[in-house]
Amino acid sequence: MGEAEFLSAMTMCRILPGANQVNMAVFAGSKMRRLLGAAAALFGLCLMPVVLIMVAGFFYFRFKEMSAVKGVLHGASAAAVALTLAMVIQTGKKCLTGLMPVLLFAAAFVLNGILRWPLPVVLAILAPISLVWAWPKEQPT
């Protein structure tokens, strides 16, 4: 598969519903061995994650009441929160450069994070405001 065909396939896979990686695996597999290749690519891509989740689920339900497992899970949840905050800080340094982006961020945080409004409702309120603010303005000539 050449670069042009790969880019074309990747564009097509992004448009189709589903995960891009799965779509691309099915495309590449079907290109090489038709239906058998698509099935093999899909199976190969999905087998290990399914096995890992099944094993993790087995161990979780088998040992979830042990204090050591509870401690590990609390530590993992704290690490997940820390990673999320680190990502917010890194992204915020690049995106939150003015008053309006900070206000929109704060509004989304308060509405969804503190008041617990559903995300679609928050987006229905803030997305139009964001689009109007970010819409390119005509430059005076």
Taking the C-alpha atoms of 30, 31, 36 and 37 in order, what is their torsion angle to the nearest 10 degrees?
Answer: -90
Could you give the maximum distance between any two Cα atoms of the chain, in Å? 71
Whole-Å CA distances, 61 to 44, 58, 72, 79: 27, 5, 14, 22
Instruction: Return d(Cα 141, Cα 137) in angstroms, integer.
Output: 12
User: Please, which residues have CB within 8 angstroms of residue 51's CB and are 6 or more apart in sequence?
Assistant: none
pTM listed for this prediction: 0.48
pLDDT digits (tens, 9 = 90+) for 82-124: 999 999 888 888 888 889 999 999 999 999 999 999 999 999 9
Sequence spans of domains, the chain: 1-64, 65-95, 96-135
